[in-house]
Amino acid sequence: MGEQGELAAEKHVRYIVTAEKKKDSFESLVMEHLRASGAYWGLTTLDLLHKLHAVDAAEVVDWIMSCYHPESGGFGGNVGHDPHVLYTLSAVQVLCLFDRLDVLDADKIADYITGLQNEDGSFSGDIWGEVDTRFSYISICTLSLLHRLHKINVEKAVEYIVSCKNLDGGFGAMPGGESHAGQIFCCVGALAITGSLHHIDRDLLGWWLCERQCRDGGLNGRPEKLADVCYSWWVLSSLIIIDRVHWIDKEKLAKFILNCQDKENGGISDRPDNAVDIYHTYFGVAGLSLMEYPGVKPIDPAYALPLDVVNRIFLTKQQ
C-alpha cells in the first residue's frame, strides 16, 4: 500500500477529472452556484500535480466564457448566474492556468471591478453592496493578473485594509471584525500584491498565526476551533508572505494533511475520516506545495496560482 504518509496523487487526479465530467453528480448539484470556483480549485490542483492536460482546455475555456456577462464585465458562478467578484477572480485564474487571457476583454473586466470600489477604499462583492476584505483581495488580485491594478485607487484600498488590522495583529472582514485566518490571508495577500507589507507587524501577526497549530499538527482559523485542511493554505501562505513560516511545525502539518486523504477514492477532506470535496482537495495539495512536497509544483502564496503560471504572466508582459 506504500508508506502511511504518502500523497496519493493519481487518486486525487482521477477524483477531480471524474467530478469535472459528471456535471449532474450529487457534488456538482450541491456546488452549482459556485461552479466557477470549483473549476479553479480542481484545475489548479491538476496543474500542481502536473496533470492539467487531463482536461480539454478548449472545453474549459468555452465553459468559463459562458459565465461571462459582457454588459457588466463580470463572471457569474455558473451559466446564467449573476456576476460577482468571487467568480470573476476564479474565471481569470482558470484562464491564467491555460494561458488564455487573450479571450478576455481585460479593460471591461477592470471597469467592472473599479466600479465596485467604494469611497472608503473598500470593495463590494457585487452591485448589492456587501463589503468584506475578501473582496479587496479578490479585486486587487484580479486586476494585478490583468496588469490593470492602476485603475483602482490603490492607496485608498490599502488604507481600508490597514483599518481592518486588529490589536492582536490579525485582520477581520471589516474594521473591528474578529481576526480570522481566511480574512488575514486576503489582507496579507492584497498588501503583498500592492507592495504594502510594511504596514504589517510581522512578529505580532506571525505570533497569532503560529498559535493556529493544534496538537494534531493541523491548523485552525481562530482560537478554540478545530483544525481544518483549508487553513493549511490560509495560515501557511500568510506565514510565508511575512517570512515567519519557521514558527510552525511543518512536518506535523504535512502529516495532518496526508491523514485527511481518501486513499481509495481520491480527494481530501477537512479533517481525517470526513467526506472529501474539491475545495479541501485543492487546499490540501496547495498547502503541501507551499511546504515543497516532492512531486507537487511550487505555488505562489499571494496569487494562489502555480509559480510558473505567475512568472509567465509577469515576466512576459501581455496586454
Partner 1 sequence: PNSQFLFFEFSWYFFELNVHIGGWSTQVLQILFPISSLYNASYFHTRLIVTVIVLCRKMVLSTNFNLSHLKDELRLCALILSYSPKNESTWSHRRWVIKNLAQHLQDMPELIDKESLLVKDMAEKSKMNYRAWRHRCWLIPYMKTKQVLDELNKSKKWAELHVADNCSFHYRRSLLLALLDGAANREDSLICQSEAYLMWKEELRWNETLIRRYQGRESLWNHRRFLSQWWVQHLLSCEETSLSNESLADLFLSQEIHLLSDCLGAPGDEFGETRVQVELAALYILWISEQDAAVKGKVEERLKSVGSLKEVLARACPEKSRLWTHLLHC
Footprint of partner 1 (CB under 8 A):
26, 29-33, 82, 128-130, 132, 167-168, 172-174, 176-178, 180, 203, 206-207, 210-211, 222-225, 246-247, 249
Contacts of 265 (CB under 8 A, 6+ apart): 11, 15, 276
Q: What is the C-alpha to C-alpha distance for residues 110 and 114, in angstroms, rounded to an integer?
A: 6
Q: What stretch of H or E contains 277?
A: strand 276-277
Q: Of 82 and 292, which CB lies nearer to partner 1 in the complex structure? A: 82
Nearer to partner 1, 52 or 86 (CB): 86
Distance between CA atoms of residues 81 and 141, nearest Å = 22
Taking the complex as a whole, the smallest distance from the CB of residue 203 to partner 1 amounts, in Å, to 6
In the complex, least distance from residue 306 CB atom to partner 1, rounded to whole angstroms: 29
User: Shortest distance, CB of residue 33 to partner 1, whole angstroms?
Assistant: 5
CA distance 234 to 189: 10
The CB-of-69 to partner 1 minimum distance in angstroms stands at 14
Please state the closest distance from residue 90 (CB atom) to partner 1, in A.
16
CA angle 293, 294, 297 (to 5 degrees): 80
Q: Which of 9, 98, 91, 12 is CA-nearest to residue 52?
A: 98
Of residues 266 and 306, the one with the C-beta less far from partner 1: 266
Name the residue nearer to partner 1 (CB basis): 31 or 95.
Answer: 31
Q: Which is nearer to partner 1, 233 or 303 (CB)?
A: 233
Q: From residue 308, give the alpha-carbon distance in Å to each of 36, 141, 163, 173, 256.
A: 22, 17, 33, 31, 27
Helix residue spans in the chain (DSSP H): 9-21, 26-30, 35-48, 57-65, 85-97, 106-114, 133-145, 154-162, 181-193, 202-210, 231-241, 250-259, 278-290, 307-315
Nearer to partner 1, 206 or 306 (CB): 206
Backbone region of residue 182 per phi and psi (left: phi > 0; alpha: psi in -120 to 50; beta: other values): alpha
SS3 123: strand
- Torsion angle, alpha carbons of 223, 229, 235, 237, to 10: 180
Q: How far is the CB of 316 from partner 1 (least distance, A)?
A: 38
In the bound state with partner 1, the residue whose beta carbon lies nearer, of 223 and 295, is 223
Min CB(232)–partner 1 separation in Å = 18
Q: Which of 185, 190, 192, 187 is nearest to 219 (CA)?
A: 185
Nearest residue (CB) to partner 1, 137 versus 303 = 137
Residue 230 Cβ vs partner 1, minimum distance, rounded to whole Å: 14
